[in-house]
Every structure is written in C-alpha cells, then in structure tokens.
C-alpha cells in the first residue's frame, strides 16, 4: 500500500471518529437497545439469517460457477439508482417488475439470458457507454439509470485489471486473499480505484468502502460463509453505508437528524459529495450498526446462546435494508440523502 494510502482510517475507525464529532446526526442509545432486542427476536424466528441473500430469486445460487464474477460485476455497478424527481429505475424480468438495485440485477440476468457474456471481463473491459445504456435499459416509462458513462468507465477499469492481473476472474482475487476479509478488502481498494470510497473529515482521511465491503459481504452470504465464501475475519466488515439504511435507523429512532439537516433532506436537495452532513450520516450509520451488533451479542451472551446464531454487521445491514424495501410506503416520509456518487 503506498504511503499516502496507509494513513486512511478503516471504515470502523472512521465511523467511531465521525460519530464522536458529529454535529448534525445523533445516535440514540435507547433506540440501539430497543432495536437490538427486536433483532434478537428476529434471529430466533429466523427472519434474520445468513440465508437472506440466497433467498432472492435474482441472486445466483452458489452452485452457479459464475456466481462470484456475477457478484463482482453487480457490485461494481451497485450505486446511485435514485432520480431527482423521485421516479424509479425499473426493469421487468420474467413477468416481475423490479426497481433500484434489483432492477440492475434483473437487467444483467436479462442480458445473460440473451447470451451476453456479462460476467466475462473480455466483454466488459471494452464496453462503451452506449452498450451499457442498452444493457441496463429500463422499461418504457422507467426513470433513466443515472451515471451511465461512469458505469461504463468502472466496468472497463475493473475488467482490464482482472484480465491483466487475475486471469479474468475475481475468484483469483479471493484465492490471493487466503480467506481473510480484511486482505480482500485491501486488495479491492488497491487494485480497483473505482471502489475507493474515501473522504476528508476534519484533518483525517476516512473511508466507508461501501461497494468494496458489500462485495465481500455478498460473496460471504452467497456461499453461506463456506468454500469460496469462507472468511476467518468476516466480522471485520462493517455495515454498507448506502442511502437506504439511514432511513431505517431514523425510523427505529437509533439515529436522529438535526432540524437543519432534516430540512435540507426534506426539500429533496442534492447534497455535495464529501460534505460534512453526508460524512456524518454515513459514519454514524456504520457506527450505529456496530453498536447494534455489540448489543445483540451482549443479549445473546446473557441468554447463554452466543454460539447459536451468526451475528455481525452484514446480516444486521441486510435485515435493515430489506426492511426498508418491505415497508417502503411507511418509510417514505423519512427522506434519504441524495448524493450523485459512484460509491453507493
Ligand atoms: N446497506 C446496503 N445497501 C444496499 C444493499 C443492496 C442489495 N443487497 C442485497 C444483497 C443482499 C441483501 O440480502 C440484499 O438483498 C443494495 N444496496 C444499496 O441500496 C441503494 C439502493 O436501494 P434500493 O433503492 O432499495 O434499490 C443503493 O445505494 C445500493 O448500493 C444492502 O444489502 N445493504
């Protein structure tokens, strides 16, 4: 890692620092305890488990040899699905209508069914913006998918590196990481610049690494923590700092916005990438989920059931993210922060 990058704080340390200095976002301990209790109950009834990822029909089964490279392409493109006017990017596939993240998955599966080599870097390392636009084309009446040029550039960048250094498959990046999530995270952000989700906060270089961490988390979840998905240190991965989970944390009164910040969000204004408010929302979200994870583990150990459940920031994140989709209507009154970004 070159010297300037060695000073970057890890996402966990960045989140702790940001939460301690935050002016516009507050984490409420009472909300953390209450939601931790709810998560404990959902662990018991199996609503929350490592199975959630594979339960979704658009995600590849771990038995699919291209699953790892499919996840790599999806998480290279897994950002910014919102439109300023609130319309949804929508893709219909096999008789079902999908929006946002799942619309991206549907479009890629549609292309794959049509014989496009979407998981092959020989295909996407040369891809043009026009081809990406066609590949990810939404339904008639769908909002346009933003940042098409940036998506094409991301695919070309990561495809070229995969061909040059990893024999054309992300499986070789997994092998080079020897079952360590931390090593894989470092490999991703060092080898693939479009994953370098970093910012300046006061005099510190902080990181969120949302797409890099969700790439590790999705592989872990797809393979249920075994075989290619085995990581001895998976708990090093934090929550994925997107624009949806903060809505859920506010809903459960785990996180609270200052009146001034709420006013900015409610007017639907687009925030400047790297602004203090954005950094505080993202950093406090990560730290809040770390606190949730520790509280749930404390409840489990008090009940003497520590070894009965897998608890970490990834499955808590998945629960919160899925919750937002399940209750999209009820949560629509809680605004999300809109930043034009290739990072989340
Ligand atoms: N924190 C977090 N952010 C996530 C995901 C996912 C997809 N995860 C799937 C894989 C395993 C899980 O079980 C999920 O089924 C997408 N995103 C982000 O959300 C935003 C779009 O949201 P919406 O408008 O609703 O489509 C966008 O920033 C996108 O990057 C997640 O899991 N956690």
Is-contact 55 110, C-beta < 8 A?
A: no
- Partnered with residue 201 across adjacent β-strands are 204
Question: Could you tell me if residue 3 is inside a domain?
Answer: no
CA of 58 to the centre of ligand 1 (A): 13
Query: Which residue among 242, 307, 317, 322 is the active-site one?
Result: 242
Give me 153's structure tokens. 């550039």
Is residue 274 situated within a structural domain?
A: yes
User: Could you read off the pLDDT of 256-301 as tens digits, one per residue?
Assistant: 999 999 999 999 889 999 999 999 999 999 999 999 999 999 999 9
Query: Which atom of ligand 1 is found nearest the CA of 82?
Result: 24
pLDDT, tens only, 58-84: 999 999 989 999 999 999 999 999 999
User: Which atom of ligand 1 lies at the shortest distance from residue 239's CA?
Assistant: 1
The burial class, CB within 10 Å (0-12 / 13-18 / 19+), for 261 is: buried
What confidence category does residue 1 fall into, taking pLDDT thresholds of 50, 70 and 90?
A: low
What is the pTM for the complete model shown?
A: 0.97
Total length of the chain? 344
- As a whole number, mean pLDDT of residues 308-319 equals 96
pLDDT range class, residue 54, cuts 50, 70, 90: confident
Going from the C-alpha of 187 to that of each of 203, 239, 304, the distances in angstroms are 25, 19, 37
User: Is 317 a residue of the active site?
Assistant: no
Contact of 7 with 205, CB cutoff 8 Å:
yes
For ligand 1, what atom is nearest to the CA of residue 324?
A: 25
CA distance 85 to 64: 38
Q: Is residue 4 part of a domain?
A: no
| Cα separation, 149 vs 131, whole angstroms | 10
* Cβ density class 264-300: b for 16+ within 10 Å, e for less: bbeeeeebeeeebbbbbbbbbbbbbbbbbbebbbebb
Q: Which residues contact 231 (CB under 8 A, 6 or more apart)?
A: 179, 180, 181, 184, 216, 220, 225
224: left (phi over 0), alpha (psi -120 to 50) or beta: left
Residue 236 within any structural domain of the chain:
yes
pLDDT of amino acid 52:
84
Residue 169 lies in a domain: yes
344 is a domain residue? no
ipTM rounded to 2 decimals: 0.98
C-alpha of residue 101 to centroid of ligand 1, in Å: 6
Task: Give the rounded percent of residues in the chain with a pLDDT score beyond 90.
Answer: 94
Ligand 1 binding residues, C-beta < 6 A: 52-53, 56, 78-79, 81, 100-101, 218, 221, 240, 242-245, 317-318, 321-322, 325, 344
If one counts the domains in the chain, the total is 1
Domain that includes residue 125, residue range: 11-339
Ligand 1 centre from 203 Cα, in Å?
30
Contact 25, 31 (CB under 8 A): no
Would residue 5 count as lying in a domain? no
The span from the CA of 198 to the CA of 343, in Å, is 9
What is the C-alpha to C-alpha distance for residues 108 and 98, in angstroms, rounded to an integer? 12
Whose C-alpha lies nearest to ligand 1, atom 8?
Answer: 318
Q: SS3 of 93, please?
A: strand
pLDDT at 2: 63
Q: Is the pLDDT of residue 3 over 80?
A: no
């Amino acid at each position: 890692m070159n010297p300037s990058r060695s000073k970057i704080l890890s996402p966990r340390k960045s989140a702790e620092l940001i939460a301690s200095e935050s002016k516009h976002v507050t984490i409420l301990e009472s909300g953390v305890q209450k939601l931790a209790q709810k998560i404990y109950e959902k662990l018991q009834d199996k609503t929350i488990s490592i199975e959630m990822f594979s339960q979704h029909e658009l995600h590849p089964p771990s038995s699919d040899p291209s699953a790892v490279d499919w996840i790599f392409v999806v998480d290279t493109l897994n950002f910014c699905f919102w439109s300023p006017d609130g319309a949804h990017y929508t893709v219909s596939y096999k008789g079902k209508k999908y929006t946002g993240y799942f619309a991206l998955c549907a479009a890629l599966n549609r292309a794959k069914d049509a014989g496009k080599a979407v998981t092959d870097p020989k295909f996407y390392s040369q891809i043009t913006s026009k081809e990406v636009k066609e590949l990810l084309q939404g339904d008639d009446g769908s909002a346009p998918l933003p940042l098409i040029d940036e998506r094409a550039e991301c695919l070309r960048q990561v495809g070229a590196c995969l061909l040059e250094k990893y024999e054309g498959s992300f499986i070789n990046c997994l092998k080079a990481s020897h079952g360590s999530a931390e090593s894989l995270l470092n490999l991703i952000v060092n080898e693939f610049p479009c994953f370098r989700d970093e910012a300046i906060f006061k005099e510190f270089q902080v990181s969120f690494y949302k797409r890099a961490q969700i790439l590790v988390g999705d592989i872990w979840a797809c393979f249920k923590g075994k075989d290619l998905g085995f990581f001895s240190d998976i708990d090093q991965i934090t929550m994925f700092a997107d624009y949806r989970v903060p809505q859920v944390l506010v809903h459960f009164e785990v996180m609270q916005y200052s009146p001034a910040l709420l006013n900015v969000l409610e007017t639907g204004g687009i925030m400047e990438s790297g602004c203090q408010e954005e950094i505080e929302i993202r950093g406090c979200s990560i730290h809040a989920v770390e606190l949730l994870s520790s509280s749930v583990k404390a409840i489990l150990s008090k009940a003497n059931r520590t070894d009965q459940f897998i608890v970490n920031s990834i499955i808590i994140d998945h629960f919160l993210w899925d919750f937002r989709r399940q209750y999209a209507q009820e949560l629509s009154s809680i605004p999300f922060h809109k930043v034009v970004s290739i990072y989340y």
